[in-house]
Structure 1
């Protein structure tokens, strides 16, 4: 960047979004989702982008940068133009989907806006059909965008806006060459916004080469969560989450609680499970009518309802002082959502509690949250049998004490019990025990310690399915990682990138997982050689996965996945003779030259 370019240090945000120059349709959408005032990055970036300037935004995840670029793009969109006007590049399919959902949410007040996510792991047919019908905004990963450019199925000739989201992460994952190729294949007069948590030399070079006199906007990293909120996490396998939540609900002393899940369907499913276990719970999500939502929230405020199971969108703008606890049943994939979620508790200066369920595969998300908020979360132990039983006895005692306070009713029942004792010659304490059985029903009041000790703990169950999360594949280049303790059959595969291409294990895992639709737990040992690498993947890769990986690139080079048949010391056995060698490597096609000057 030039020394003369603007340097802006964001400090104070204006009080409203209306002051930033956004149109009525976008402002209405913001009001509908409960946004009241812009964050620092939004306050500085939105007016700058509305003026048509290029922007370099230095901000951590969780500062609200998605809205910072999405809102001005939507405000200036021409819905009559059917070819893509905006392209957002994201390093992972998870982030691409999240950005796409944000665009759709902010576009709710503008009719006819079409947003398309483009990423590996989704069938080409869905994407091709949408592109033929016409889309205004494309949000995708560099590998799949390059694929469409190669095939000539993505027309960027009339592109007006391009966003690089988490640019440093994209470069770290080996997408540098792809990103530069995409930038070169787009019109010179487009407006570019680049967002990055850091500013390494490679990002500065990219900015200087492809951005036009950009305004640099810096948001200083501040602790984004309130100090009066106690933040804890529990490592638990996904199938055990409902049982773990039940244990916590029994022991925690809470007034009102919001339990956050990722999907609309899960809100209803979990609320129903909680009601079946005796808890007062209701669900709200984007499909719940406004009148019903208001009734449910009022019930939570008045104490008629104790637990609200909600999605992020449904809980936006929710302000109920009675909420003492927030539980992230599904931990959010971005810190911005985490901060918004736990901000529902600890209101009006009161203390609050936030508990996050983390599966072993999601440990990397926990690290991202701690890094972005600059606060450590405390690991908690699931309440044991003794703690649960002690709580149940205490509540049983409280119920008896409360009933004894109802003088007239107690007097009436005393006569009835006395009549039974006289006629059946049974001690009063036995009658009381029998009445407790009637009240309790078939469910035992107390857990059986012996039976509970014989069962695997929640942590044990979680450990059985533990897989490394993103960011946990940190082993030396060229070193093999030990095989996971798993029943999954693994096989050695060969990819045509190695040490001379400057690849690292995390780049291999990131690219293949994103494009192939695999999870991080599908990877075994990785061996990086000078000209190729050997990767252990599931032995039963489907034809669909093979097809997705045909066009996958790492450091700009096609990986050309095939089964490994060569001997290698300490490696996996070669497959049996006659085993399927997978689809042949795709013949390289000349790069799609659209939008470049013809030489």
Structure 2
């Protein structure tokens, strides 16, 4: 019986390589797209969720169509992030390991451009690149794309969301008119439709499932809590899932760092991934996560794009995304390669409208969950521990020498006493922490659910805030989350103290505490955005804020059990002082850092 990939038209050398990687049967997107792409005669648009095998869907046909006897660039693959660039490059190298003289080079920011130029100079057929770094190399006249036959735009919607439209235009202007363009995307917003019309001629369009919908194997849940209880509720959800291996999404870099630091202080194996990390720091965090020495990865949308880690059990939306399409990308980090997963959103009552919007876009209903009680968490942790003990693999040879001493220690204890004492080692800390734990659930507010928009909550009375005008808006590529991150990074003002944000076309309004107004003005005295002076003013429609907002509260409304450490499986070890009150995060005032190799417009 022939291998299914051979029947699709893939040669034996490549099939042998992918068989060693565990490829047995093509995924639906591979089965449908490979025969079309192998003809080499069509522009192509492929719509499919992340984790469905898109890299092989375009990578295997590329390897069939290129001439590896020639050492000049014949194919260019553009993707949004460094992680995805490296992932695609490694995959293509693995697929082509039996092909003589096949050369694939990764071009991305945050690494030595000199090394990348040397690799290109030695000869290359396939260049995999992020737009910013690719444009840098083209500006140096260090690569010739005049004979490129195929251009692949992978995660096209993400590249446009990140503000790479101009870079893509510049790069493609250096490629031949008669090339074939293959576009792959998880969603099909209007911007992607426009780019397909601009760069393609009568493309063959393949849609796996319904456009813009989510993975059918993902269960979507939401929990309604008060803003001040969000962190405590988040930890309770994590504790209720002892085997969780998840990605937690936040809106801003500041929020990401704050939550990660509080989790570490509370004994969880967690770390942050955001745009202020160096490439070396990012690589270190991702290495730990892939090796599962991290239980929770706390990330921004931009930083997490392109992450491909197997067996992620949960995606948790600590903050809902500003753009609904981003929810599809977030939830797509779980349930990859046909597996199942859970996407959890922690919201306040005013965000129910946004949940309903997401439901309409992804075509699936959310399940309203209840924050587990303290008793529920303790019970789940106890039986999670018992399950782990029951299934642990015993190294008979190594443990045998210690058994006599162990038996002597337990000689005066019955079997029941041993079990109770062993279970109590970890269980007692949870009992103490969740003793008298309050109910964190909030009834769904049907009046609030009519409001489809999401507001930035704030603390204090209306007279405590000043409404500022800033000459940046949606035409500059800014959403509300971007404005918040940009403003806080420039000023050092904590995001927790910011009030309502309104983003218009060429300007925006942002509410700040009265005591922070001078700080904001001083921080923006000489700031430019893409060559244009950024200016802020007190809003002309009145010095003081006229709308009332909901209290933001503190993220770290919860715990401080520093003397204990949570290990990878979710169990807690050691004594602790865990409580549901107090705590808090320190503020971060890191200035904005440009990274041309990765992001041009968004933060």
When normalised by structure 1's length, the TM-score is: 0.51
Q: Say if 1:385 and 1:55 are closer, same or farther in 2 by CA, change over 3 A.
A: same
Partner of 1:38: 26
Q: Offset of 1:270 from its aligned partner?
A: 4.1
Aligned residue among 188, 203, 211 for 1:214: 203
Kindly name which structure, 1 or 2, has the bigger radius of gyration based on alpha carbons.
1
2:431 maps to 1:443: no
Report matched runs for 1:237-276 at 5 Å: 245-249=238-242, 259=245, 263-266=286-289, 268=291, 270=293
3-state SS of paired residue (2:434): helix
Q: Provide the C-alpha distance between the structure 1 equivalents of 2:484 and 2:113, rounded to a whole number of angstroms.
A: 22
Partner of 1:376: 365
Q: Say if 1:527 and 1:105 are closer, same or farther in 2 by CA, change over 3 A.
A: same
Q: Provide the C-alpha distance between the structure 2 equivalents of 1:521 and 1:80, rounded to a whole number of angstroms.
A: 56
Q: Deviations over 1:84-108 (max 9, x none)?
A: 4433334x43xx6335413412421
Q: Deviations over 1:110-149 (max 9, x none)?
A: 246434253xxx43x62453133326322324x5544554
Q: Offset of 1:21 from its aligned partner?
A: 1.4
Q: Say if 1:433 and 1:56 are closer, same or farther in 2 by CA, change over 3 A.
A: closer
Q: Say if 1:434 and 1:508 are closer, same or farther in 2 by CA, change over 3 A.
A: closer
Q: Is the 8 A contact 2:89 2:106 kept in 1?
A: no
Q: Is the 8 A contact 1:42 1:67 kept in 2?
A: yes
In structure 1, stretches of 5+ residues that fail to align are 1-13, 250-256, 274-310, 316-325, 346-353, 399-418, 421-430, 461-471, 476-480, 542-548, 551-557, 574-580, 587-599
2:157 maps to 1:194: no
Q: Say if 1:230 and 1:140 are closer, same or farther in 2 by CA, change over 3 A.
A: closer
Q: Deviations over 1:21-70 (max 9, x none)?
A: 12334323432343332233322322222221232325242454343222
Q: Is the 8 A contact 2:43 2:204 kept in 1?
A: yes
When normalised by structure 2's length, the TM-score is: 0.51
Q: Say if 1:328 and 1:179 are closer, same or farther in 2 by CA, change over 3 A.
A: same
Q: Provide the C-alpha distance between the structure 2 equivalents of 1:241 and 1:435, rounded to a whole number of angstroms.
A: 34
Partner of 1:114: 104
Q: Deviations over 1:265-323 (max 9, x none)?
A: 236554899xxxxxxxxxxxxxxxxxxxxxxxxxxxxxxxxxxxxx96666xxxxxxxx
Q: Provide the C-alpha distance between the structure 1 equivalents of 2:118 and 2:433, rounded to a whole number of angstroms.
A: 60
Q: Provide the C-alpha distance between the structure 1 equivalents of 2:188 and 2:43, rounded to a whole number of angstroms.
A: 13
3-state SS of paired residue (2:96): coil
Q: Say if 1:147 and 1:473 are closer, same or farther in 2 by CA, change over 3 A.
A: farther
Q: Offset of 1:382 from its aligned partner?
A: 4.9
2:5 maps to 1:17: yes
Q: Say if 1:175 and 1:333 are closer, same or farther in 2 by CA, change over 3 A.
A: closer
Q: Provide the C-alpha distance between the structure 1 equivalents of 2:66 and 2:129, rounded to a whole number of angstroms.
A: 15
Q: Offset of 1:535 from its aligned partner?
A: 8.2
3-state SS of paired residue (1:36): coil
In structure 2, stretches of 5+ residues that fail to align are 248-284, 297-306, 318-327, 388-410, 443-450, 461-466, 521-526, 545-590, 597-603
3-state SS of paired residue (2:23): coil
CA RMSD of aligned residues (A): 6.3
Q: Provide the C-alpha distance between the structure 2 equivalents of 1:130 and 1:187, rounded to a whole number of angstroms.
A: 23
2:127 maps to 1:137: yes
Q: Provide the C-alpha distance between the structure 1 equivalents of 2:453 and 2:381, rounded to a whole number of angstroms.
A: 45
Q: Provide the C-alpha distance between the structure 2 equivalents of 1:366 and 1:32, rounded to a whole number of angstroms.
A: 42
Aligned residue among 109, 112, 118 for 1:126: 112
Partner of 1:160: 149
Q: Say if 1:89 and 1:457 are closer, same or farther in 2 by CA, change over 3 A.
A: farther
Q: Provide the C-alpha distance between the structure 2 equivalents of 1:33 and 1:372, rounded to a whole number of angstroms.
A: 35
Q: Provide the C-alpha distance between the structure 1 equivalents of 2:485 and 2:74, rounded to a whole number of angstroms.
A: 27
Aligned residue among 331, 336, 341 for 1:340: 336
Q: Provide the C-alpha distance between the structure 1 equivalents of 2:329 and 2:344, rounded to a whole number of angstroms.
A: 12
Q: Provide the C-alpha distance between the structure 2 equivalents of 1:160 and 1:82, rounded to a whole number of angstroms.
A: 14
Q: Provide the C-alpha distance between the structure 2 equivalents of 1:74 and 1:237, rounded to a whole number of angstroms.
A: 49
Q: Provide the C-alpha distance between the structure 1 equivalents of 2:504 and 2:382, rounded to a whole number of angstroms.
A: 63
Q: Is the 8 A contact 2:154 2:183 kept in 1?
A: yes
Q: Offset of 1:563 from its aligned partner?
A: 5.5
Aligned residue among 171, 185, 209 for 2:174: 185
Q: Is the 8 A contact 2:310 2:336 kept in 1?
A: no
Q: Say if 1:245 and 1:116 are closer, same or farther in 2 by CA, change over 3 A.
A: same
Q: Is the 8 A contact 1:15 1:38 kept in 2?
A: no
2:526 maps to 1:564: no
Q: Say if 1:508 and 1:396 are closer, same or farther in 2 by CA, change over 3 A.
A: closer
